[in-house]
Chain A
Amino acid sequence: MSVAARPRPPSRRRFLLAAALVPLLMAALIAWTDAEYARSLRLQMAATRSFDRERAQVMLLSAMKDAETAQRGYLLTGDPAFLHPYAPARRLASGLRETEGVAAPEVAALIDIKFAELDRTLALFRAGQHIAARAAVADGEGRRVMDRLRAALARAGIRERALTAQRRAAFARQRSELRLLLLATAAVLTLALAVTLRSLWRSRCAAYDAALDAYEKGERNAAILRGTSDALLILNPSGTIEMINDAASALLGYTPEELERHDIAKVLRIAEGHGAFHQRIGLDDGRLDRPFLADRVARHRDGSERHVDVAIGVMRVPSGDHLVLSLRDASERARIERAKDELISTIGHELRTPLTSVVGSLALLRGGAAAALPSQAARLVDIADNNARRLIRLINDLLDIDRIESGQLAMARAPIDLREVVARAALDSDGLARSRDVVLADASADSPVPVEGDAGRLLQVVTNLVSNAIHASPAGTTVTIATLVEKGRALIAVEDRGAGVPAAVRPRLFERFESGRAATHAAASGLGLAISREIVRRHDGTIWFEDRDGGGTRFAFALPLAGSEAHDTPPSDALLPLLLHLDDDPDVRATVAAALEGVARVLPAASLAMARALLRDGAPHLALLDMQVVDGHGPELASELVNSHGAPVPVVIYSGQTVPPVLAARAAAVLTKGRHGLPDLVATVRQLLAEQRAPVGA
């Protein structure tokens, strides 16, 4: 399932840019349109004025003619009635003459001349000089003035019309421009509207899709939450229950409404102490110190207590780190474990009965109880016998683990010579070795190797190691078994020339169901080494493995020599430099102590508390620290590791975990369990002790 990317908020900058540009564009368009409109209005007004002027000029000429007609009528007839239009025509003409733009200076001068001629002839006539007045008219001066006036006005009219035509053309041009502009604006606006609507639609669609997606995911998660058989509780960052599923409801006896918005402490104690919830539960930057809490007590609504295992997951959401608690009934787990153990025991025993017949029959056949077998038949019987025995060993391994877990693995304590155990193991494994074309060599000491122990169980250990070694060995190589007394202890070593133990399984090789061998080898129960370790441990011994020079692996275990308790610590040890070794695994402590024998006096500590108690007696010359021990981190001790001169004690971190660079930088050396063998460790310790030999000697 792919994990969706966390959504990002829309870009404010892009939105602001668009929001600023669009109104600016619109304002510019509006301003342009407005300016164009104003320009066209000005053109129209100019055209109107031109028309008015032309009309006024026509009216002026007409008024002048009226005045002339009235004058002539009166002068010819002497009838004053003819003079009636004279005064209004003359007022109109005078008014128009004064109107701006109507009478050009030439026209105005001609009007004045005409008026003067009219005044003079009328004055003559009124003074009784009728003949003189009529003669003046007949003289034609008045007519000539009128002709000149008409011609002047006609010229003005032509000019005005040309101007008007010019303006009209400009107006038409400008109007078509304005039309284009308006069309363009409308097109731009339509486009903008379309784009806006489209983006609005798309954003609505996207919002719908997202909502639908969220709905579907929500429904799916809710269905998972509802349907899972594990009891689930979701806690917000302050430890308040946000939601619970049906299984949790059933387990705790509360309805969701009764628990939601209540502190988790109401039903489950998982975060004791003071301070913020995340601090108490050990959540730091989305990482939990302990993501699994075994066998916690959950309080049921009826007051009863349920034992549950709690698995905690971290849900990193924008509102803070939430926790998902998965509760599983631990009593059920215990019941299943018991049932499994019983099943293993029952099956184991039921299988042994038919196998007894098989192995017994084959052994009798091999032993010649029936008749001597032809060689091919004998070979087939060997194969059947080897495999039936392997089946029995697997069953016995299973039953032994069952015994180890239930604390029923008993050990006899009898004086034995380990050389006999080794000889027997070699004999028992001979068939297997020959079938795989591997040579078994017994390189035991000449003198007895006495220990107190259970010969059968120790034989089981050696047989297991030898069988493993044979399975790991390429054809034609030799597996060497040796037993000897070394550094006051009995030592049994089984060496092969195989491919070695893969790095991945090294740290857990002695754990249950770990098989260090590749899949191509014979099926192993994965229990042999776990059982061997337990048997050796029960003999107060230690078991380990190391790479051999030139390839291959050496498995070895060391036991106390019989009667050696009195002088476990050689007196020379007192002179050796002190080394504090902090590790909560007793096997590691024992193997390291054994490996460093004669190099340093090892002060083993299983916990920080024990290490601190040892430090009160004085500082060691070197400290070997595991990263994680029962009560904290090994490197926590660093600040307390100061010698009598106030100088820091060199620290070697020896751990199976990854060491943070900050801690690694402060350590004198960092060795990784599994990757670095005991020889590396011994070499490092030797070197570091040699570097400070001068202060040690002084």
Chain B
Amino acid sequence: MPLRLLFVDDDPDIRTIVELALGLDPTIALRVAASPSEALSALATMQPDAALLDVSMPDMDGPALLAALHDRSPGLPVIFMTAHGRERDIAALRALGACGVIVKPFDPLSLSAQIRALLSG
């Protein structure tokens, strides 16, 4: 049973990279959303095992999306991706209920391993 992962990022380049990177791992079934609203509507058709969210997005940012996701699916493991890698930024995101933070730039070849490590940790 592959890991069903919901990935939300407004940056199409990053979406492509993550799709390609995670596409290398057959144990991950990726659902990509280009915006938080698309992500929320995707919940109607799928029940993800985890979510990978960009932090800075227009309309609704990562933390707000996390709250919305948790409203509908309490306890959903969420990993944030951010360029702001300061310890206090990471701590703040973790305090919101994220189980992990991946700091950009990340290594696409070890991304799936990183995600699995964060989810199991």
- A410 located at the interface, meaning its Cβ lies under 8 Å from any Cβ of chain B in the complex: yes
CB neighbours of B83 from chain A (8 A): 349-350, 352-353, 356
Say whether B21 faces chain A, with CB atoms less than 8 Å apart: yes
Residues of A within 8 A of B21 (CB): 360, 364, 369
Indicate whether A357 sits within 8 Å of B13 (C-beta atoms), given known contacts A349-B83, A364-B20. Answer: yes
- 8 Å CB contacts to A: which residues of B17-52? 17-18, 20-21, 23-24
Q: Is the CB of B108 within 8 A of A364?
A: yes
Residues of A close to B17: CB separation below 8 A:
356-357, 360-361, 364
Judge whether B59 is part of the interface by a CB distance below 8 angstroms: no
Question: Known contacts being A356-B105, A360-B21, A392-B105, is A408 close to B87, with CB within 8 Å?
Answer: yes
Interface string of A14-48 (1 = CB under 8 A from B): 00000000000000000000000000000000000
B106 proximity list for chain A (CB < 8 A): 356, 360
Interface digits, A353-374 against B, CB 8 Å rule (1 contact, 0 not)? 1011101110110010110000
- B88 interfacial contact with A, CB 8 Å: yes
Q: A360: which of B86, B87, B105 is its contact (CB, 8 Å)?
A: B105
Set of chain B residues within 8 Å of A408, measured between Cβ atoms: 86-88
* Inter-chain contact B87/A369, CB cutoff 8 Å: no
* Interface flag for A148 (CB, 8 Å): no
Q: Which residues 331-385 in A have Cβ within 8 Å of B in the complex?
A: 349-350, 352-353, 355-357, 359-361, 363-364, 367, 369-370
Complex: A355 Cα to B85 Cα, angstroms: 14
Q: Which of B14, B23, B24, B87 contacts A356 (CB 8 A)?
A: B14
From the candidates B13, B23, B24, B105, name the one contacting A352 in the complex (CB within 8 A). B105
Number of B residues, CB within 8 Å of A = 21
Which residues in A have their C-beta under 8 angstroms from that of B86?
399, 403, 408
Give the residues in chain B near A360, CB-CB below 8 Å. Answer: 14, 17-18, 21, 105-106, 108
Assembled-state Cα–Cα distance A249/B86 (Å): 44
Scan B67-95; emit 1 where CB is below 8 A from any A CB, else 0.
00000000000000001111110000000
**Which residues of the other chain, A, contact B11 by a CB distance below 8 angstroms?**
353, 357
Chain A residue nearest to B82 in the complex (CB)? A349
Q: Out of A350, A359, A403, A409, name the residue touching B105 (CB < 8 Å).
A: A359
Name the CB-closest residue of B to A388.
Answer: B105
**Interface membership of B3, Cβ < 8 A:** no
Partner of B109, one of A353, A364, A392, A410: A364
List, in ascending order, chain A residues with CB within 8 A of B24's CB: 367, 369
A363 touches B88 (CB 8 A): no
Expressed in whole angstroms, the minimum distance between the Cβ of B3 and any Cβ of chain A is: 19
User: Cβ of A357: which chain B residues have Cβ within 8 Å of it?
Assistant: 11, 13-14, 17
A372 to chain B, nearest CB (A): 14
Cα A155 to Cα B65 in complex, Å, equals 160
A-B contact pairs, 16 of them (CB 8 A): A349-B84, A352-B83, A353-B11, A355-B104, A357-B11, A360-B17, A363-B109, A364-B20, A367-B109, A369-B20, A369-B21, A369-B108, A369-B109, A370-B20, A408-B86, A408-B88
Of all A-B residue pairs in the complex, the 7 with the closest CB atoms, nearest first, are A360-B17, A356-B105, A357-B13, A352-B83, A410-B87, A356-B104, A360-B108
